[in-house]
């Protein structure tokens, strides 16, 4: 069965000031439990803010390093999920449901891509 990476993208400037509400945590926990019971979820996690990250770039035969936050980047990967689904449509459906768990105060998007060789 193919595996898919769902990269959850956020604009860190638009994250609600109160962060993740207890209600959102509950709804998200219930959905993640359902995805896991369905045998689709292989791994998932949120990521620390980009201010705590480092970007390495190889260009022109030279390696450079930039500490976050990455001001030139509007959206960053805020989390991910590795899904094992029967096809891309199923992976997209689970990702849609994850996005819809968020309230109207959130702006969040996802990029879903098949993991090569899966």
- Buried b / exposed e along 5-35 (16+ C-beta atoms within 10 A): bbbbebebeebeeeeeeeebeeebeebeeeb
CATH class (in words) of the domain with range 3-114: alpha beta
The tens-digit pLDDT sequence of the chain (118 residues) is 999 999 999 988 888 877 788 999 999 999 999 999 999 999 999 999 889 999 999 999 999 999 988 877 788 899 999 999 999 999 999 999 999 999 888 899 999 999 998 6
Contact 111, 44 (CB under 8 A): no
- What's the distance, CA 27 to chain centroid? 16
Question: In the chain, what are the domain boundaries?
Answer: 3-114
Q: 101 Cβ partners below 8 Å, 6+ apart?
A: 24, 27, 28, 31
pTM: 0.87
């Amino acid at each position: 069965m193919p595996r898919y990476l769902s990269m959850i993208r956020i604009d860190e400037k638009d994250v609600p000031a109160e962060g993740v509400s207890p209600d959102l945590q509950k709804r998200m926990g219930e959905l993640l439990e359902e995805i896991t019971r369905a045998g689709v979820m292989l791994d998932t996690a949120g990521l620390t803010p980009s201010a705590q990250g480092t970007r390495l770039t190889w260009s022109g035969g030279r390696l450079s390093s930039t500490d976050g936050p990455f001001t030139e980047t509007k959206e960053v990967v805020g989390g991910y999920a590795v899904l094992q689904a029967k096809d891309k449509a199923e992976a997209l459906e689970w990702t849609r449901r994850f996005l819809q768990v968020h309230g109207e105060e959130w702006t969040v998007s996802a990029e879903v891509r098949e993991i090569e060789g899966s």
